[in-house]
Structure 1
Amino acid sequence: MYKEDRLPQSPKEGIIFLLIISIISVNTIAPIIIGMELGFSKENYLETLKIIPIMWIIVVLLVKFVAGPLVGQLMPKFVGKTDGFNARVLLTILLNVTVLSLLLTIIGNWVGTKEISLLPFQNFFPSWFRNFGVAFWIELVIAQPIARLAMKKIHASQRRKATLVNQ
């Protein structure tokens, strides 16, 4: 994108941004989806906690090596030079959630059931639409705003430190 206070401006900040979003996403999206699939109960939630570390690693790898590069190639085809920050962020979220939810509808089922089977393909579309909806709203309303706020605070802190050093 372009230099913006609410976005990472260095590789270190990129890692922090990714960690914030992925930790929030995995810890909210997975329990909600599993609750919708199997019912909301303490037992189901505790079972979800067992797979969250594995899912977090899978999500980070998919973001870095699949969704990130793919969305990076697609963005210039859809975004114009005059499009604003919010339009760019919304499109980025939409594309990332689409790619990740397509893959994780299958992979998440395999991790959750601890077996690779054709089961996720049998009910793919109803499951994917539900998963996409949950993930999209979590990203749009919770994970992304928190990560952008963290970036804004980091950059404000850096500016304060630079001002103190230059005085």
Structure 2
Amino acid sequence: MHKEARLPQNAKEGILFLFIISIISVNTIAPIIVGLERGFSKDVYFDTLKIIPFMWIIVVVLVRMVSGPIVGRLLPKFVGKTDGFNARILLNTLMNVTVLSICLSIIGTWVGSGEVSLEPFTNYFHIWPRNFGIAFWIELLIAQPIARFVMKKMHAKQALQNA
């Protein structure tokens, strides 16, 4: 998949890809989850905007230091050489969202409430499946396709310039 036009092909593109996905994800997933917790209103949305920069940093760190390494080791055990691009992307997304939602269902509650407590653990089996579902569908239907579209357009432009 290294030469796939819809994926980053170097570190600079990888950073852009991560930036696009993380910005879209944090700006959609966090408001939806907070809205489900506290109700959907303008005040709740504006409160959510205050935590989004912190959540964005946390998400990027978790992707680079936790989810990326775990999924990087597990993914080759589940995909075969003949598996297509879509199958690989779907499994990669599923694994990344699983790892991140497990962590963020706890950390996100702490950031949102402004305190480290046992609350996310007492409600964990109630909030994690919901958070996973929201994150998975946003990643699969919005964030990932937009980031892959940007990569495809960038690579097409580079190919034209090199031709």
TM-score (norm 2): 0.99
Secondary structure of 1:83's match? coil
Aligned ranges for residues 3-152 of structure 1 at < 5 Å? 3-152=3-152
Secondary structure of 1:8's match? coil
Equivalents in 1 of 2:125, 2:146: separation in Å? 30
- Supply the RMSD in Å over aligned alpha carbons: 0.5
Which amino acid is the alignment partner of residue 114 of structure 1?
G
| Residues 6-54 of structure 1: CA deviation (Å, up to 9, x unaligned) | 0000000000000000000000000000001110001100000000000
Deviation (angstroms), 1:126:
1.2
Equivalents in 1 of 2:126, 2:112: separation in Å? 18
Q: Contact conserved, 2:21 with 2:144, CA < 8 A, in 1?
A: yes
Q: Contact conserved, 2:2 with 2:9, CA < 8 A, in 1?
A: no
Equivalents in 2 of 1:68, 1:125: separation in Å? 24
Identity, % of aligned pairs?
70
| Residues 74-125 of structure 1: CA deviation (Å, up to 9, x unaligned) | 0011000100000000000000000000000000000000100000000101
Structure 2 residues not aligned, in runs of 5+: none
Equivalents in 2 of 1:120, 1:70: separation in Å? 23
| Residues 109-149 of structure 1: CA deviation (Å, up to 9, x unaligned) | 00000100000000101100000000000000000000000
4+ aligned runs moved over 2 Å, structure 1: none
TM-score (norm 1): 0.97
Aligned length: 163
For the pair shown, the structure with the greater C-alpha radius of gyration is: 1
Equivalents in 2 of 1:4, 1:93: separation in Å? 16
Equivalents in 1 of 2:76, 2:115: separation in Å? 38
Deviation (angstroms), 1:3:
1.7
